Chain A
Amino acid sequence: MTSEARLVPYAPPAEEDREGLSGWLLTTDHKRIGILTIGTALVLFLFNGVMALTMRAQLAQPDQHILSPQGYLQFMTMHGTGMIALTITPLAVGLGVYLVPLQIGAPRIAAPRATLLGYWLYVCSAITLIWGFLTPGGASSSWWGYTPLSTSTYSPGPGQSLWTAGFFLSATGMILMSTTTLWTMLRMRAPGVSMMRMPVFCWTQLVTALMVVAAFPPLLAALAILALWRLDPSLFTGHIWNVVYENLFWFYGHPVVYVMFFPFVGCVAESLATFAGRRFFGYKGTTISLLAFATGSMAVWGHHMFVTGVQVNDYFSLTSIMLSVPAGIEYFGFLGTLWGGRHRYTTSMLFAMTFIPQFLVGGLTGILVANPAIDYQVNNTYFIVGHFHYTLFAGSVFGFFAGFYFWFPKATGIMLNERIGKLHWALLTIGANTTFIPFFILGYDGMPRWMATYPAGAGWTTLSLISSIGAGIIGLSFMVLIYNVYVSARAKVPAGPNPWRAYTLEWATSSPPPRYNFNLANPVPRVRSYAPLLDIWEQQRERRREGQPWAASEAPAPGAPAPGAQAAAGPPRQSPPDPPPSGPGKER
């Protein structure tokens, strides 16, 4: 039986982390860097969300002036840039920093100081962007920062300069963090963890890192051009430079959409597989489709420019529509996993299952707008706003919460309250759909984006009001989430190593995991597939059936649900109960 336990492949360094606050801020522990990143992103999520709520208050009625036109554009620019550069991308990348080493049985992340530098660059970018937001005039050219509007000729203030610097810093930080997760996956997998035995979540992180590394540098180039342009407008005269900026920007701007999508596909996949009680269906097809999707993501940027009159529309229509093939394969993976499973409807599972149809709305409208003939009408209208909020909010954010409720016990060692969690889910689902469905109709009816206010006679009042009410419900749901974290932090229901009976390596170690993830008390179990703990349980069941009672009589070990956790999460209600995975090695 000792053959099932493997020693940690890398000897942990002797140095220990500092105590207290500096132990967090100067940490080289990927778990702490991951928690810092996710925590910072969630705080900024609330900040950017307040921007959105203020804008929805303004648009609830026609001809309102809660915000001046200038103020509205600043809020909108901060909301867009903040959600993309400071919230969803860091959430996506931060989940990887936390989970990837755990899921591949590595004791640490590769180049932890570079990862930490990435986090601090991200913090600097947040400070710079918010500083720019607070300067008089601020940045008001939307998150695209299209030239020449964003140049010093038309946006002379320091706000736009700070926006340029802040966006640059954020992209640099994300490149560093993604590079280290990629490096970790390629070089630091535990013995037995081959590439094709990495969990689905790791694969989503791998393609995410590839896209960050390939697509973020063009943004740095675009922002460098903008910075120089702001210093000396005479350097960039002529129509061509606007087109250069747009192409460089969207060469980043489309892949970043998938950066903000795939890690949450990974969350959904892990949650669905665990709570359907079975292996993720179609693993091979899903990994291949993820790689194909990441490759294709580099060739679709021009669909943001269908109406510019300076783009090759047929080609980008072809590449964009063809992305429906890998996306469809991933959807069949979801459905195949649900089909034939025995579901447990935990909060995480509810978020994951809601992700499926809601993201689908974003994906299907994405196919619509991949047709230039349709995009000529709906581009730059609320139809597009509805489309990308269905992908990013009703999709990615729901995927994130599927992961949040799933891994919170692992990261903290305590359970979140499931009843309050389900209330959060219900409010968020109602709120998101009430907010974003009207956008499609408004856009079809001719409401452009970026409207600081609108006339009473335009016929947009009722739908705008419905949308604003929905935004209020979303705000309320976030209050419920905060309350849940508060209540759960006080109740301190212990999670145990594996409260959900999940299958991947992070659930074989303690909650929260030890400093170097696995140790002699929590060894890396033997890995023979992308669901290693499930393999062990199935093997033990086989042995029991063959009349080897010693397999079942072993002491509970890593991976076994803690009794207290079951009380909080609801017992798995499986019969007969599977024996815990074997986790000997304590004697070694």
Chain B
Amino acid sequence: MPFRSQFSWLFAQNTTIAWVVFGLVIAGMAVSVLLSWRKRRRGEGPARRAAANRLEAGYVLGLFGMAIFLVVSSFVANARDFPDPPKPAARIQVLGYQWCWQFHYAGYPVTMTGECQAGRLPVLVVPAGEPVVLDVTSSDVIHAFWVSYLRFKTYAYPGHTNTFTVTVPKPGRWIGRCAQLCGLYHFNMDFWLQAVPPATFDRFLRSDGSLAGAGAS
């Protein structure tokens, strides 16, 4: 199940509407082709009416109604997307640089990094089921922190910090990627997001960032 429930319902709702609209337009075109064929068979000329004020007013109103419904849906999802953050279990500084990531745990001497190549990806370790605050920034160009499983990304700007709170519901490991062109090895800037049980996370913070020492894999 995707992590951000706002994405799930809104994507499903919008996609359903899109399919219905697409189907209606295709059906409209198909009927127009059939009508044309019938006109030709009966030897009739094309219709000469070029405006129909009531019909046009009707579809303008319909379009407005649909657009307002979609805007309200978007606003509702936006408002629900970032509720007041609960007290976090940890605060992690996510630093993007050309071309890898560094994760520093505020208040602990723990910093995770890697080389972003040959399988040595940095690992962002978070406690499962507990909220953590991520402070996303960059030391050179603009990067973007993206974990597809979280259904969320945000920019890593130099000289600016974007903050968001995330609660990963269950233990597991997911791939994260850079989602903003940042130069030559942009395509290599991958990392792991790993959620571990809270007890393991506590041991991880006290063991200088060694996951093996914390008994997790």
Contacts and interface: CB of A to CB of B under 8 A. Distances in A.
Interface of A: 69-70, 73, 140-142, 144, 146, 148-149, 154, 238-239, 242, 276-285, 307-310, 313-314, 317-318, 321-322, 324-325, 328-329, 331-332, 335-336, 338-343, 353, 356-357, 360-361, 364-365, 367-368, 370-374, 376-377, 379-381, 445-446, 448-454, 458, 538, 573-575
Given A371-B10, A376-B153, A281 B70 contact: no
A129 B131 CA distance: 49
B179 interface: yes
21 contacts: A146-B180, A149-B182, A278-B46, A278-B48, A284-B51, A308-B162, A309-B154, A318-B71, A325-B60, A328-B63, A329-B60, A335-B28, A368-B14, A371-B74, A372-B74, A372-B77, A373-B4, A374-B11, A376-B153, A446-B175, A449-B181
Given A321-B71, A339-B35, A148 B140 contact: yes
The 4 tightest CB contacts between A and B, nearest first, are: A340-B47, A446-B148, A277-B46, A309-B162
Contact of A324 (B52, B70, B158): B70
B191 interface: no
A279 B48 contact: yes
A142 B181 contact: yes
Contacts of A451: 186-187
Contact of A373 (B31, B60, B74, B175): B74
Given A149-B142, A371-B74, 15 more contacts: A69-B187, A73-B184, A149-B182, A277-B45, A308-B155, A309-B154, A309-B155, A310-B157, A318-B71, A340-B32, A343-B36, A357-B22, A361-B22, A368-B14, A573-B40
A557 to B, nearest CB: 22
A367 B14 contact: yes
Contacts of A342: 36, 39-40, 44-46
A338 to B, nearest CB: 4
Contacts of A379: 153, 179
Contacts of B159: 238-239
Given A317-B71, A361-B22, A278 B141 contact: no
Contact of B187 (A239, A453, A573): A453
A309 B33 CA distance: 48
Interface string B64-82: 1011001101110110010
B63 to A, nearest CB: 4
A376 B63 contact: no
Given A239-B158, A322-B67, A69 B10 contact: no
Given A148-B140, A329-B59, A376-B152, A69 B184 contact: yes
Contacts of A445: 148
Given A307-B154, A367-B14, A285 B60 contact: yes
Contacts of B28: 335, 338-339
Interface string B24-62: 011011011101100110011111111110001001100
A282 B52 CA distance: 7
Contacts of B60: 285, 325, 329
B193 interface: no
Contacts of A73: 181, 183-184
Nearest to A368: B14
A434 B81 CA distance: 35
A585 to B, nearest CB: 27
Nearest to B136: A309
A448 B179 contact: yes
B206 interface: no
A317 B75 contact: yes
A550 to B, nearest CB: 23
A70 B22 contact: no
Contacts of A336: 52
Contact of B153 (A377, A453, A454): A377
Contacts of B45: 277, 342, 574
Contacts of A370: 74
Contacts of B47: 278, 339-341
Given A146-B181, A149-B181, A364-B18, A282 B51 contact: yes
B160 A239 contact: yes
Contacts of B67: 321-322, 324-325
A376 B14 contact: no
A373 B7 contact: yes
Given A149-B142, A276-B36, A285-B60, A341 B155 contact: no
A281 B47 CA distance: 10
Contacts of B74: 314, 317-318, 321, 370-373
B21 interface: yes
A365 B39 CA distance: 35
A307 B56 contact: no
Contact of A380 (B25, B31, B141, B180): B180
Nearest to A282: B56
A93 to B, nearest CB: 28
A154 B160 contact: no
A63 to B, nearest CB: 11
Given A307-B154, A341-B46, A149 B71 contact: no
A278 B141 CA distance: 56
B56 to A, nearest CB: 5
Contacts of A340: 32, 35, 39, 46-47, 49
Contacts of A144: 181
B138 to A, nearest CB: 10
Contacts of A367: 14, 18, 70
A343 B33 contact: yes
Nearest to B149: A446
Interface in B1-29: 4, 6-7, 10-11, 14-15, 18, 21-22, 25-26, 28-29
Interface string B125-147: 00000000000000011101010
A281 B14 CA distance: 29
A495 to B, nearest CB: 23
Given A324-B63, A446-B148, A364 B175 contact: no
Contacts of A338: 28-29, 32-33, 36
B183 A149 contact: yes
Contacts of B66: 324, 328
B170 interface: no
B122 to A, nearest CB: 16
B180 to A, nearest CB: 6
B162 to A, nearest CB: 4
A39 B59 CA distance: 40
A146 to B, nearest CB: 6
Contacts of B35: 339-340
B153 A380 contact: yes
Contacts of B43: 575
Contacts of A368: 11, 14-15, 18
A308 B153 CA distance: 9
A296 B175 CA distance: 38
